[in-house]
Structure 1
């Protein structure tokens, strides 16, 4: 029997916030709500949801992107020998000067995808076109620099914990029912301006690239559409692309990316370390995060910090 082709049917959305809008769902971030969450946050316990960057770390080299590299551009001994700063030898040997340069793909490690990362038919969210808005170096619209500092409510949907496994199986498609059951177990709902963190368990294997990258368990397209319908500002996960892989749709190799970014205007935070939150049963928290402001870039490293909320 021939399998019936599944098509994603994704179209670029027009922003309800006007023709110049580049933030999409980030417009739901409310500074008043953020201040209230900060007032309730228990800053005595801060969970760092990011990972270290180091040579040899898992990255998307299979797709042709460069691995993370770091080089010393200045060393104490080199400064004394080269004397590029024009100081006396005695001074250069007295002052230990070090400096370095990094080189990497902007979607390396814990990072956030901007709305210009994926589009459909030559357009990104809010109908910005390749012809009018993509220069020779970067997009002029919807780059990662427009993402504001993020202070909002984070909610953990621990799907691996729900299933009673260390990690979901490869290519497991997370369902709407899975997400609803995880929320019910935590006694929570999702709402406007929240960041939904979906735990698959993959980060427990970091930095073993053979177990962290490839054929990821993640959200099905139906589940992605359901979760954006809850009003979230950002979607996040502990794996490389949030959605299930490989694609379940024959017309789109990353339909979840196209939905979140181009159809829903929801940035994607990937490769977050959710293991400590899950270990301690923290499912609701104040999230504080901000990416590096790389103008026009389609993504950037981000350091999300989670603080549990006091109940009184």
Structure 2
């Protein structure tokens, strides 16, 4: 090895082998999503055989249309305002003039390579899935962390498993509606903010608890995290594999699409650790 150019420590780990768990949902037309956002749509405007070149070859191509808050996605700080203000006191109406949020759009989110922590609340409670409308309490979060032997600290990305993600393939029941959806409330979001987390995510459609029959009428955790503390939210994660593997902490990697001025972006996060 040339001492003038020492080998990068991270590269050495990668070359020795890295285990990965995909935390993102596959994007499919018709997948469950919030009724507040445009749906994902994929089609093939050109298929093989539509145009054949002189040498007998052909090519296919795609077109997608999508909202930025469908599938597994991240909320930028521009996504939510409270009493006319976004994070940092930015005037929400004035910021949207021109159709782009220049100050707090998703393009301002730096790629994340951070310590990730899984809080498997459903596993701690001994259930496959928390009931619809169940509020994950501060006591639940603390007891889950203690049982897993992890602490939540500044700069972490905390992923909360309610088990509701196992219902994703069911479609409409995953969205909640009459049943509600489990998740943290205002108190749980405040607990996360007090620990200085960088981002928080969950296996549900809106991260936080949705009351039975209440839909998205009230979202206090979004206010606490996005508006008051500048903490990003990741929704509709697939946490089943991570929980089954028993990974309490790991390297979390997430890169949003670099869409200027957008309020969110589809993402495909990964949990990584050195091969054992």
Q: Distance in 2 between matches of 1:37 and 1:178?
A: 35
Q: Distance in 2 between matches of 1:181 and 1:189?
A: 11
Q: Distance in 1 between matches of 2:11 and 2:137?
A: 32
In the alignment, structure 1 residue 129 sits paired with structure 2 residue 129:
no
Count of aligned positions:
262
Q: Which residue of 1 aligns with 2:54?
A: 90
Unaligned runs of 5+ in 1: 1-34, 81-88
- Change over 3 Å in CA distance of 1:180–1:36 after alignment to 2: farther
TM-score in terms of structure 1 length: 0.78
TM superposition outliers: structure 1 runs of 4+ over 6 Å: 35-42
In the alignment, structure 1 residue 202 sits paired with structure 2 residue 202:
no
Q: Which residue of 1 aligns with 2:44?
A: 72
In the alignment, structure 1 residue 149 sits paired with structure 2 residue 125:
no
Q: Distance in 2 between matches of 1:182 and 1:40?
A: 30
Shift of 1:263: 0.6
Shift of 1:124: 0.6
Q: Which residue of 2 aligns with 1:85?
A: none
In the alignment, structure 1 residue 175 sits paired with structure 2 residue 137:
yes
TM-score in terms of structure 2 length: 0.88
Residue number among 196, 203, 208 corresponding to 1:238 in the alignment? 203
Q: Distance in 1 between matches of 2:116 and 2:11?
A: 12
Shift of 1:227: 1.2
Q: Which residue of 2 aligns with 1:116?
A: 78
Root mean square deviation, CA, Å: 2.3
Shift of 1:286: 0.6
Contact persistence 1:282–1:308 (CA under 8 A): no
Contact persistence 2:107–2:258 (CA under 8 A): yes
Contact persistence 1:37–1:309 (CA under 8 A): no
- Change over 3 Å in CA distance of 1:38–1:48 after alignment to 2: farther
Shift of 1:130: 2.9
Q: Distance in 1 between matches of 2:195 and 2:275?
A: 24
Q: Distance in 2 between matches of 1:255 and 1:67?
A: 25
Q: Which residue of 1 aligns with 2:189?
A: 224
Q: Which residue of 2 aligns with 1:13?
A: none
Contact persistence 2:18–2:274 (CA under 8 A): no
Shift of 1:43: 4.4
Q: Which residue of 1 aligns with 2:18?
A: 44
In the alignment, structure 1 residue 106 sits paired with structure 2 residue 68:
yes
Contact persistence 1:59–1:67 (CA under 8 A): yes
- Change over 3 Å in CA distance of 1:183–1:39 after alignment to 2: farther
Contact persistence 2:19–2:274 (CA under 8 A): no
SS of the aligned residue for 1:259 comes to helix
SS of the aligned residue for 1:45 comes to strand
SS of the aligned residue for 1:260 comes to helix
Shift of 1:40: 6.5
SS of the aligned residue for 2:51 comes to helix
Unaligned runs of 5+ in 2: 1-7
Q: Which residue of 1 aligns with 2:271?
A: 306
